[in-house]
Structures are given as C-alpha cells and as structure tokens.
Structure 1
C-alpha cells in the first residue's frame, strides 16, 4: 500500500519566476551542493519542445537514516534518483510529473506537481506524491519514514529556491 504525501508552498513571486528558478540547471546544481548529500548531482538535463526534463541524484549517509530504512541498504549511503518532467500549461502555470527511485531498494515514489499564479498575486507550488515500499509487514512504516524525509527535503528545496528568486 502506498503512502500519500501533499506539499504546498506559497511565494510572493509570480509562477514564471519561481518555475524559471526551479528548473534552472545552475541553481539545481547549486541546490544539490547544499542539500543533496554524498554523490549528489544533476545526472541528466534536457530542454524539451514544451518544457524541461532532468534527473537529480541525492545521497543520504547511512548514519542519518532511520534504522528500518538503513536495514534495506546495508553498508552504504542511500542513493536516490529523481526525474522530473515540466511543461508550460498556460499563462502563469506549469505542470510536472516526477518519479523517484531509491537505488537498490524496493522503494519508489511518483508525483504530480504544479506551480501556478494565485489570485491577489504571487504563486503556489503544489506537490502530491505516493511513496511505495514493497516490503512485507514493515513496508508501511518505512513508507511513512520515507514520506517524512521527502517532505523535509521539499521544504528545504523550496526555501533554497525562493531565496534565490528573491535575490
């Protein structure tokens, strides 16, 4: 059974500016240097006719993992590949989809994302994800732990990106 995750953040900046910062390769690389952990980096990046697609590698040291998660990754850091595809969906709106693979584990996630202008000015980022861990008996507990870590990461990434938009 999958664990659902909803994340929202607002910005005083228009969606066009927030989106531009969120998908800027240089800012993605800078963000990963600060938040990505061991072995982090942009592993693929391409502009598409209607948007952008990229893959980010995150690393989490085994010492920072909950024991139930580190038991799935014996003797090493956790490596996470996150692929996002973004498209312009109309004036002041961008839609995205994402997939997450936790390398060498039965854990994965899928997401839908949106950055859109809101009435009265500014914009909102909305992310809905489902985390799945295919481990009998304890999978749901691991999903809960992974979902919590994802939510913390999303908050840190949003804070980082919005600070750059404000600069």
Structure 2
C-alpha cells in the first residue's frame, strides 16, 4: 500500500465488491509499508475480515497488470538510451516475465534491472544473485531457474 492513496485503495476495493465500511478501514493503510503496514494488518484484520478467493485473484490480476503497464514504458525509456537494446516487443519473453515480476515485488534500482535485462538472461540472473532482497525470495519465486 506504500504507493497508494486512500482514494485508490477505497475505489479499488469497492470495484471488487468489498463493502464500503471495509474499504474505508483498508484505505487507512495508504502509504504504509514495512513495519507500519504489519502493525496495521495485525491490528485491523479482525475488523476488515478476509477477501474471498475470487476477490483475491481479481486484486492480483489488477495489481500485476498495473506493474506490467509500468514496466514496459520504463524499459522503453531506459532502453532508448542504449545502443542495440531490443525493443520491449523484441525482448525475450522470459526476461519480460521476470522484469514484470520484479516490478510487482518491488525494486530499489529499476534502471539497473533494465540494464541487466537488456544485456540478456545471464546478466539478469547475475543481477538477481547479487541483490540480497531479490535472493531472499528466490526459493519461492524461482526466477533464476525460469531464466536458465
């Protein structure tokens, strides 16, 4: 929620069919991350309740599409400054998948990620291996194996 306004959170949840009072509760998490977000969840989850399975899937689809729609122009802007960089449409599909997934998870140095993606699978694998925050999730994400 760290990049979302209260209005965004509220309208997204309402569009999923979440009751207004629950959307209001969740919208109080606007701009929270890390420990603050954890404390918020720990103290409000009983009031908010759970999302249905269908609502969880729909929320994931929307969030993932949002990151995909962000990753492509970011890639194109960065790649335009590099000679011989493939366009987004010419980029290896597995590289695109991993780039979008990393944007979805969150990345501190997106320009470095794009440079690794431009350089190819091996460079992207090395980028992941050298980033401790990405490696922390590698046992469940399996990005390196996917790229090999």
Choose between structure 1 and 2: higher strand proportion.
Answer: 1
- Does the pair score TM above 0.5? no
Larger RCO (CA within 8 A; separation ≥ 6): 1
Q: Structure 1 length normalisation: TM-score?
A: 0.24
Q: Structure 2 length normalisation: TM-score?
A: 0.26
Choose between structure 1 and 2: higher helix proportion.
Answer: 2
